[in-house]
Amino acid sequence: MSTQIAVRLSDEELAALDWIVVHCHWDSRAEALRTALAELTERLRSEEIDRAIIDGYTRIPETQEELDEAMRLSIESIREEPWERWW
């Protein structure tokens, strides 16, 4: 299902939208606006998740033992990589 909405834009906003449509090779203004909405939504959701993760680590910080184990496992995983010389 889709719903059509009316959006009032200033001359400058419409010119900017038209510029975006041309330079990003979208088929229409509607496609450009839908894409912009999707990208903004994704960015805001990602920021919300980031804030929740930060809040969690702020409320319950990692112990030194957890940090030491994370470092040990990181080093181990790097050593297990099949590094090839590229130079």
Domain membership of residue 34 as a residue range: 11-79
Q: What pLDDT digit, counting tens, does each position of 58-69 carry?
A: 999 999 999 999
For residue 20, count other CB atoms closer than 10 A to its CB.
15
Question: What is the pLDDT at residue 80?
Answer: 85
Q: What pLDDT digit, counting tens, does each position of 9-45 carry?
A: 999 999 999 999 999 999 999 999 999 999 999 999 9
CA distance 40 to 46: 10
- In a domain? residue 84: no
**How many structural domains are present in the chain?**
1
Question: What is the pLDDT at residue 63?
Answer: 96
- In a domain? residue 86: no
Question: What is the pLDDT at residue 83?
Answer: 73
Question: What is the pLDDT at residue 84?
Answer: 66
